Chain A
């Protein structure tokens, strides 16, 4: 799939992770915390910093460029705050740290590379101008209205308008419709005969 990808949309979530002490495998949650038991001798908590996140993304970019030299990237930062932190700070401070690091890395990459762009879904949802309106009552999940505003903005900025996306002939929805419509057209006479047979006096 990656060999055919023209644009990779990559959403950065948080900086907290767990690492296997021996082989360096990175886990998004503490292994064994949900099922089994967590072994601190095997795994260790890691809160990545700016340089590490930047280097990791540059490595990922190189890997993907080796598969598809003209691949491009669109970065976003998830506006969903942390529910909890494994660090020693308050979760509010931990959230600000995570999002700040990721947002700074995304901004630097977009400014530095022609093939990397940044889309500000984070600012649309989490910015003060939104007054928290786009969060659900748990103050964490993004509401359907928020997703709608983000996606409408995205399509307007990149395709001209939401409507133009829907009307693009190469659009997958249109293509699937055409596929079924083509079969329907072949069946028109048959369907007419069925109607006549069923309802003609």
Chain B
């Protein structure tokens, strides 16, 4: 039985459901550490343990793990990092003002970058997310296998006009026919970052995909009427239990 340490943010919820539903726990011993993204900068390595410098972060670590306020790296065979900002939205944000050669959409309105420049900029954007801070901490003391799971693509079904002003231009990319190209760039970014950091990255599950940049509605929390009504954007950005099931199949093939 492999001892796996799962460290994740709110996106762990769907995966956890999938892990239980798929019976993964019978093959692997999993210890969960839940942590909001904002607490990642408070993490430090001390004596081969990941510790948190703030009370709130320590509380969150202990909440899911049965009371463990720190992560003893040597206790685990593998590490599973979930979410922490690994999100296609960064590439879509770059698309607000820039496009690349591989995008078939209209040429006006966005500065043209070469494919390699768009890819390199996307990589730099994505590499700045908290997930890689966690990976660097672990990698600083062990070369044990690490799997990083990307956050799901947004669920389809909300109206473009319901999006906040800062929301990355997912809808524009779709309207202009550039969605597939952006999705392809994000997958390539994941491949490159996996090679750079010596980790395995599980990108958004293509089986759930709709139009490249979105997931079908049923794979998001938009299907939960209560959540979708109270916070439609949050519901759109989080995977459902159904998504968790197919995600768990990819993470634990």
Contacts and interface: CB of A to CB of B under 8 A. Distances in A.
Residue among A173, A175, A182 having the largest count of chain B Cβ atoms under 10 Å? A173
Interface stretch (B121-129, B133-141, B199-207): B121-129
B97 A172 contact: yes
A187 interface: yes
A194 interface: yes
B89 A200 contact: no
Interface string A185-201: 01110111011111111
A179 B96 contact: yes
A177 B128 contact: yes
Contacts of A186: 164, 233
B10 A194 contact: yes
B13 A195 contact: yes
Nearest to B32: A199
A181 to B, nearest CB: 9
Contacts of A199: 12, 32, 34, 63-64
B98 interface: yes
Interface in B7-58: 9-13, 16, 32, 34-38
A4 to B, nearest CB: 8
Contact of B125 (A177, A187, A188): A177
Interface string A102-117: 0000000000000000
A175 B98 CA distance: 12
Contact of B38 (A172, A182, A188): A188
Contacts of B111: 1
B10 A198 contact: yes
Interface string A162-184: 00000000001101111110111
A70 B216 CA distance: 48
Chain B, interface size category, equals 35 or more
A57 B91 CA distance: 36
Given A177-B90, A179-B166, A186-B233, A1 B10 contact: no
A162 to B, nearest CB: 12
B145 interface: no
B90 A195 contact: no
B129 to A, nearest CB: 9
Contacts of B85: 180, 184
A44 B13 CA distance: 67
Contacts of B9: 191, 195
Interface string B125-164: 1001000000000000000000000000000000000001
B203 to A, nearest CB: 17
B251 interface: no
Chain A, interface size category, equals 20 to 34
B90 A183 contact: no
Given A183-B166, A195-B9, A198-B16, A176 B94 contact: yes
B165 to A, nearest CB: 9
A198 B164 CA distance: 27
B93 A176 contact: yes
Interface of A: 1, 172-173, 175-180, 182-184, 186-188, 190-192, 194-201
Interface of B: 9-13, 16, 32, 34-38, 60, 63-64, 85, 87, 89-90, 93-94, 96-98, 107-108, 111-112, 121, 124-125, 128, 164, 166-168, 231, 233-234, 237-238
20 contacts: A1-B111, A172-B97, A176-B94, A176-B96, A177-B128, A179-B168, A180-B85, A183-B166, A186-B233, A188-B36, A190-B234, A192-B36, A194-B11, A194-B13, A195-B13, A195-B34, A197-B13, A199-B12, A199-B32, A201-B63
Given A190-B231, A194-B11, 15 more contacts: A1-B108, A172-B94, A176-B93, A179-B166, A182-B166, A183-B166, A186-B233, A187-B231, A190-B238, A195-B12, A195-B36, A198-B10, A198-B12, A199-B12, A200-B63
Closest A-B pairs by Cβ, 9 of them: A199-B64, A190-B234, A194-B10, A198-B13, A176-B93, A191-B10, A182-B166, A199-B34, A179-B93
